[in-house]
Structure 1
Amino acid sequence: MKSPFPKSSSVAGEGRIIVKLSPNHVSSLESITYQYPLKLISPASSAEQGSVLAFLLSYGGGLVAGDRIHLFVDVQPGARLSIVTQGHTKIFRSIKPDIVTRQDLNVEIKDGAALCLLPDPVQPFESSVYEQIQIFRLTANASLCLLDWVTQGRTALGENWSLARWIGRNEVWFTPQNKNTQDRLLVRDTVILDSANRPAGSPSLQESMYGHAVVGTLILRGPMTKSIGEFFLSEFAALPRIGGRDFRSAEARQKDEAILQTSLESWRIKRLQEEKDRHILWSAANVRGCIIVKFGAATVEAGRNWIGSMLLREGSIEKHFGEQALMCVR
């Protein structure tokens, strides 16, 4: 019997979020749609929040081998959106190497708009195969704060980078106002973790991670992230350098240290000690107007505490997007 209902045009795993600026200058949700296994939730927003909050979820707390997620995000002029998760995005094992779990994110951020994407890290299980592509298109005055990080797996079960393959690619494009001008690629950052296809004689994937339980990338672009970007660059420039020597006398050092014991200096000294104790390594660089921060930590919580403390200390992300944008890094 032929169904009297029209054929559905929806696609499994596809979702869309559109955020606009309302007449009273408050960011609001214009529409949100999703299909299994993707799930999106957006609590009611208010002017005090600073941005629309959306939770990126999946049924069962993870993605089963072969799942496909396609999320499209449109942040219209002047609007602000924060995307978070409610825990690690779990990637379940694949029974065959050619059964790939995929997640694609396509984002357009218009003039004066901003997106803050600070999720919990991805947690790939043993023998999982995962590929992720995230593409962001920004106009000249648009802003982006993106955190992309991955853990070693379930340590309680003895997993230590036991995944089969994990590929993550982030692209940031500049979209000019003139429609006759082509978009320009600013950053293409790709991380490939492959336990099987390794060059002959090279260390295993576990050995090549040098004891890190989590590795991540923070990408900052636009006027709303200018302050936090400069903060990371200045703190990276202040890190002790190998071979650096202090030629001052002990008395002169003590005098200068007493003068420099400001709130920031005290926090920095404490943070440097924690970075040493918790085996946190990181770097920051300016690439075509984007600030790229790379980091790794010996434990997931150490990595979370570090990136969270940096963002909270500087304060501009919380100021522009609201404290709820930082819930995954607290």
Structure 2
Amino acid sequence: MASSQSTGRGDIEVRKFLNHTTISTLSSGYPLRLLPLPTRPQFRAALIFTLTYGGGIVAGDRVDLRVIIRPGAHLALLTQGSTKIYKTPSTELRSAQDLTVSVEPGAALVLLPDPIQPFKDSAYEQRQVYHIDPTDSNLLALDWVSEGRTALGEKWDFWEWKGRNEVWSFHPESGDGQPFKKGRLLIRDNIRLGSNDQDPREEMYNLGVFGTIIVKGPLFRGVAKAFLEEFSHLPRIGTNTRQVAQPHPSSDPKTDTKPSLTWTAASIRGFVIVKFGAKEANEVKRWLRALLREEGTVAKEFGEHSMMCLR
């Protein structure tokens, strides 16, 4: 990447204390801010907002957040609105975010942010890397991006958007001194929009948001089951039914501009991976909020505040 203006390093560590989660480490530097919510005694989880000064990331700035969730602790990472990606004077000068998380045995992470909002002529890349125990760590992670500032007529008008999600098993030699040492790669999901001279608007059909959900672990077994069961009941292409249930993009011939919520779910290597797209973010929020509330695990273990971005 080209010369950086600022790297905002953040560190979070949470531990289980009695039947609750306490924050043992919390530090951040410009442009990153970390804001914890007061612990609620009826829930086991700690809730922390990840924010940036000005609500976004300017060209050349990088956010690097590292999180350690100790055994039995529960953490929800949230935002207070979409993270804006500002215009760059050069395609070589990117905005960037790195998130590295260690979810130790019996620990749980809920990551439910608002969508990334890339402005016109922006360039952005992000990496989200999770280290887990394949049998006993718990992960529910949402990663999504919107088309830009629709009020200004923006529609996937950025230069490039690159995202990568990886999940690794713990290395046999990892410990307190090396919590992020990689073991075996379990899942890798790469997305590149606007690369190879491809117009992002053509790549995205007529969708306004696009994203991925990763579900793993015994705590979220009910969530994983809910996604798979709901998807199994959706009609497939060619059936005569409502478009909202179709697992691939389509348009109403009368409007031709507003595809319904589109999504798919699959069980892969012990994970459930969900891919979705919709014309508007609110469509996704309504769908995901309804599914999670009906299933109940997130609200019970982390509290309703953990689903703020879905309101």
What is the rounded CA distance, in whole Å, between the counterparts of 2:140 and 2:228 in structure 1? 15
Select the residue among 78, 82, 85 that pairs with 1:88: 82
Structure 1: 4+ residue segments shifted above 6 A? none
Cα deviation, 1:199-240, whole Å, max 9, x if unaligned, reads 6xxxx3212211100001000011111111011111111111
Local SS of the residue matching 2:235: coil
Cα deviation, 1:279-316, whole Å, max 9, x if unaligned, reads 11100001111100000001121122222222222221
> Per-residue deviation at 1:272?
4.4
Contact 1:49 1:324 in 2 (8 A): no
- Name the CA shift for 1:30/1:134 in 2 (closer, same or farther; >3 Å): same
Moved more, 314-323 or 77-86: 314-323
Residues 1:35 and 2:49 aligned together: no
Gaps of 5+ in 2: 1-5, 176-180, 253-257
Alignment size in residue pairs: 291
Residues 1:285 and 2:266 aligned together: yes
Contact 2:244 2:261 in 1 (8 A): no
Aligned partner of 2:178 in structure 1 is: none
Contact 2:235 2:245 in 1 (8 A): no
Aligned partner of 1:154 in structure 2 is: 149
Residues 1:77 and 2:71 aligned together: yes
Residues 1:237 and 2:253 aligned together: no
Aligned partner of 1:216 in structure 2 is: 211
Select the residue among 281, 298, 318 that pairs with 2:279: 298
Q: 1:28-67 maps to which residues of 2 (within 5 A)?
A: 28-67=22-61
What is the rounded CA distance, in whole Å, between the counterparts of 1:39 and 1:245 in structure 2? 50
Higher helix share: 1
Aligned partner of 2:192 in structure 1 is: 192
Q: 1:163-202 maps to which residues of 2 (within 5 A)?
A: 163-175=158-170, 183-194=183-194, 197-198=196-197
> Among the aligned pairs, what percent are the same residue?
42
- Name the CA shift for 1:179/1:68 in 2 (closer, same or farther; >3 Å): closer
What is the rounded CA distance, in whole Å, between the counterparts of 2:273 and 2:81 in structure 1? 24
> Per-residue deviation at 1:179?
5.6
> Per-residue deviation at 1:242?
2.9
Local SS of the residue matching 1:77: coil
Contact 1:214 1:298 in 2 (8 A): yes
The structure having more radius of gyration, on CA atoms, is 1
Local SS of the residue matching 1:147: strand
- Name the CA shift for 1:58/1:158 in 2 (closer, same or farther; >3 Å): same
Local SS of the residue matching 1:94: coil
Contact 1:186 1:290 in 2 (8 A): no
Measured on the aligned residues, the alpha-carbon RMSD in Å equals 2.4
Contact 2:259 2:279 in 1 (8 A): yes
Gaps of 5+ in 1: 1-10, 247-268
Select the residue among 299, 312, 322 that pairs with 2:293: 312
User: What TM-score results when the alignment is normalised by the length of structure 1?
Assistant: 0.83
Matched letter for residue 30 of structure 2? Y
